[in-house]
Structure 1
């Protein structure tokens, strides 16, 4: 996250941190949230690099622009499966989808 975004959110009372700092999340839940947010970010980056609009991506996957915006935001209602399938719409290969997810060091419980 850019420092300007972090400062803006903190000024509004938000706490900014990693998924590991969310109390009560199991390792599985933490990993799920992390993967989902990374896929959402990758989708947005790939779309903007290809100069596609959210409407362009939505048309390619036969959904609405607002649903595309929810995908990019990693909204709770968007499934991990849909995010993974949507990655392929802006011209990515399977390896493009998998390789941007670096391995995270495993924590002990």
Structure 2
């Protein structure tokens, strides 16, 4: 949100914040969510770069298309472990996984 819009809202009596403020998340919870989002984004990018459908990826990992969709959207029912194992099954390296995590950490520093 730009500064002018923020000032206008605050002048009108609105409180301006983010999801962290609204939900009362700890820094650790924010970091976890950011990591999961980055890994999910990397999973989708890798699947698309390999020209795989969600269904074909699901078959590769003995899962369902809906589970792959949930992984790609960081659904709360999907564990971080499952996302990482799927990335590795797709040929991602430890460095790829670390890079996705590192990108989430750099966004927290901004």
Structure 2 alignment gaps of length 5 or more: 1-16
- Where does 1:17-28 land on structure 2 (aligned, <5 Å)? 20=20, 22-28=22-28
* 1-structure distance, mates of 2:52, 2:81: 22
2:39 paired residue number: 39
Q: With structure 1 as the length reference, what TM-score do the two structures score? A: 0.72
* 2-structure distance, mates of 1:100, 1:56: 23
* 2-structure distance, mates of 1:86, 1:52: 13
Larger RCO, structure (CA 8 Å, separation 6 or more): 2
2:98 paired residue number: 98
* 1-structure distance, mates of 2:64, 2:48: 18
Flag the structure with larger Rg.
2
Structure 2 CA distance for partners of 1:74 and 1:89, relative to 1, 3 Å: same
Helix, strand or coil: the match of 2:46? helix
* 2-structure distance, mates of 1:19, 1:46: 28
Which shifted more, 86-95 or 71-80? Answer: 86-95
1:65 paired residue number: 65
More helix by share: 2
